Structure 1
Amino acid sequence: MRIDAHQHFWLYEPVKDAWISEEMALIQRNFLPNDIGQTLKDNQIDGVVAVQADQSLRENEFLLELASAYKLIKGIVGWVDLRSESVEEQLEKYQQAPLIKGFRHVIEGEEDPDFLHRDAFLRGIAALTKYGYTYDLLIRPRHYASTLHCVAANPEQVFMLDHIAKPPIKSQAFDEWASFITELAAFPNVHCKLSGLATEADWKHWKLDHFTQYIDHVVACFGKERLVFGSDWPVCLLAGSYEDSMRIVQDKLQDFTADELAGFWGNNAVKFYKLS
């Protein structure tokens, strides 16, 4: 099965979706599965993982409603407040919704560099482990140290690094990010999405070789069995087409075997998120 492990859907609301700035006016509209269905078929993608774009319990219900209507949604990465004293009660409830495979918090929006190793958050991660949920990491450089602390403190929790930690592709800066990736990939419970890359580059003037050093480093550090493909659609449209998002990574997979390619384009995501 070929899987796009990172897609978003929303009914656009200016207040709820205030993160979609005027610079991103292209995606200030509704995006639903019907808008991507034919493109997925054209690119032989069999299904997607829908990832939260709004930090609310309403978001989970919205994605579950979509999944009940559109079979292309094979799994959901939702949202709960992991710092809540009632987090276990909420996770218990979601046991009745098997399409919810894991959760994510928009850490990149948190100014606190220690957010991921505050006691309340760590208790939430422990609850995810107890209930068998995955956790997607969406971070910025200020969170590198607390990410490593969080992962080290939770060896039984499986983590997925979104967007290869958003490296500074536009400036081609490398060393700080590369050092972090080397340390993070040493933890075998962390996997990595090759996703959201074009939007970290110059939206209008990127070239394929702008991504080479970043993708090569991720492959070298994580190996091929812990990597998955994600488009970050529709956000990726800010910097190119859906096919561009595929082409950016396709170009760097020349030494993958047929089995390794099948893993990258779907089987690794199926295993990580327990899709069916």
Structure 2
Amino acid sequence: MTINDLLNNKIMTIDSHQHFWIFDEERDSWITPEMGVIRKNFLPENLKPVLKANGVNGCVAVQASSTDSETEFLLQLAEANDIVKGVVGWVDLFSADLYDKLEKYSQFEKLKGFRHVAQGQPEGFLLQPDFIKGVGQLVAFDFTYDILIHQNQLKEAFNFAVKLPNVHFVLDHIAKPLIKNGQMQPWADDIRALAELPNVSCKVSGMVTEADWQNWEKADFRPYLDVVFEAFGTERLMFGSDWPVCLVAAEYEGAKGILTDYLSMFSDSEAKRVMGQNAVDFYNLDI
């Protein structure tokens, strides 16, 4: 499937995962010197022509820093830019006044859910009673939760999601498997286990940055795509570019092309779901 196919078939294409920031070296210390191409500002005016060139109708902006001001920043951008169809913000899920904060946030129509950067956290982070209690409160306001973890945290994520069957979860970046090393296990078995939970979806995103940045080939990703498509099916997968982070390893078109090429084996209706409709449904986007 090519960009022209998407355009000609009038497929609603939604990028379910991208970021905006005004670069701050101290705050954004995770953007290391070797990631020099993204050590600068990235705003809607930078993304808009990229989406247009790639036949993408809109996007979901996801938090990149863990502050209340980050959520406010993204909401302001969403209000001013129609390409931003939804926002996944940050809120202190351990806060004693979390319910009141969520009630305040519920007035913002484009705020769809929240995320905490759980990747790299100590073992057991997701299973803390106060964290589970906080995430459980999202249900009252129809907010979703994005699970950002490394592949070695998948078993913990399973136990976490089991405890919260009414929360709508989406796994970011297929849990960052070790694509550069070609390692499949235990990631593959753990993905299959997590996918057995009906309240968990998965973003096909962030793969190029887990591969060899300079020397990846599309074939490197096929075994991982085989696993997530078998596990989640086309009903619970959604396209995400992880722009601008993807730029350290691929241009937007290249990152997106990995998935659109793979989807050429599927029906148009299945491709439509993965490339847009699943994101619209999961985040309840107003298109």
Q: 1:142-177 CA deviation, whole Å, 9 max, x = no partner?
A: 422221111001111110000000010000000110
- Distance apart, 1:16 and its partner CA: 1.1
- Within the alignment, does 1:101 sit opposite 2:109 as a pair? no
- Within the alignment, does 1:68 sit opposite 2:79 as a pair? yes
**Alpha-carbon distance between aligned partners in 1 of 2:106 and 2:129, rounded to the nearest angstrom:** 24
Contact 1:114 1:143 in 2 (8 A): no
Contact 2:89 2:113 in 1 (8 A): yes
2:282 matched to which residue of 1? 272
**Alpha-carbon distance between aligned partners in 2 of 1:265 and 1:254, rounded to the nearest angstrom:** 12
AA aligned to 2:111 is I
2:159 matched to which residue of 1? 149
- Within the alignment, does 1:89 sit opposite 2:69 as a pair? no
List gaps (5 residues or longer) in structure 1.
none
- Within the alignment, does 1:3 sit opposite 2:14 as a pair? yes
- Within the alignment, does 1:166 sit opposite 2:166 as a pair? no
- Within the alignment, does 1:177 sit opposite 2:204 as a pair? no
List gaps (5 residues or longer) in structure 2.
1-11
Contact 1:216 1:252 in 2 (8 A): no
- Distance apart, 1:258 and its partner CA: 1.0
Deviating beyond 3 angstroms after TM superposition, the runs of 4 or more aligned structure 1 residues are: none
**Alpha-carbon distance between aligned partners in 2 of 1:160 and 1:193, rounded to the nearest angstrom:** 7
Q: TM-score, normalised by structure 1?
A: 0.98
Identity %: 47
AA aligned to 1:27 is I
2:258 matched to which residue of 1? 248
AA aligned to 1:274 is N
**Alpha-carbon distance between aligned partners in 2 of 1:128 and 1:247, rounded to the nearest angstrom:** 34
Secondary structure of 2:179's partner?
coil
- Distance apart, 1:109 and its partner CA: 3.5
1:198-209 correspondence to structure 2 within 5 Å = 198-209=208-219
Q: What RMSD in Å do the two structures reach over aligned CA positions?
A: 0.9
Number of aligned residue pairs: 275
**Alpha-carbon distance between aligned partners in 1 of 2:197 and 2:259, rounded to the nearest angstrom:** 23
AA aligned to 2:91 is V
- Distance apart, 1:38 and its partner CA: 1.0
1:189 matched to which residue of 2? 199
**Alpha-carbon distance between aligned partners in 1 of 2:162 and 2:79, rounded to the nearest angstrom:** 37
- Distance apart, 1:15 and its partner CA: 1.0
- Distance apart, 1:24 and its partner CA: 1.1
**Alpha-carbon distance between aligned partners in 1 of 2:130 and 2:152, rounded to the nearest angstrom:** 19
After superposing the two structures, state which structure 1 stretch, 133-142 or 203-212, moved more. 133-142
**Alpha-carbon distance between aligned partners in 2 of 1:142 and 1:164, rounded to the nearest angstrom:** 12
1:18 matched to which residue of 2? 29
1:218 matched to which residue of 2? 228
**Alpha-carbon distance between aligned partners in 2 of 1:42 and 1:23, rounded to the nearest angstrom:** 27
**Alpha-carbon distance between aligned partners in 1 of 2:186 and 2:230, rounded to the nearest angstrom:** 16
**Alpha-carbon distance between aligned partners in 2 of 1:240 and 1:125, rounded to the nearest angstrom:** 34
**Alpha-carbon distance between aligned partners in 2 of 1:86 and 1:31, rounded to the nearest angstrom:** 32
Secondary structure of 1:253's partner?
helix
**Alpha-carbon distance between aligned partners in 2 of 1:41 and 1:216, rounded to the nearest angstrom:** 29
After superposing the two structures, state which structure 1 stretch, 244-253 or 74-83, moved more. 244-253
Contact 2:202 2:237 in 1 (8 A): yes
- Within the alignment, does 1:263 sit opposite 2:273 as a pair? yes
- Distance apart, 1:275 and its partner CA: 0.1
**Alpha-carbon distance between aligned partners in 2 of 1:189 and 1:203, rounded to the nearest angstrom:** 33
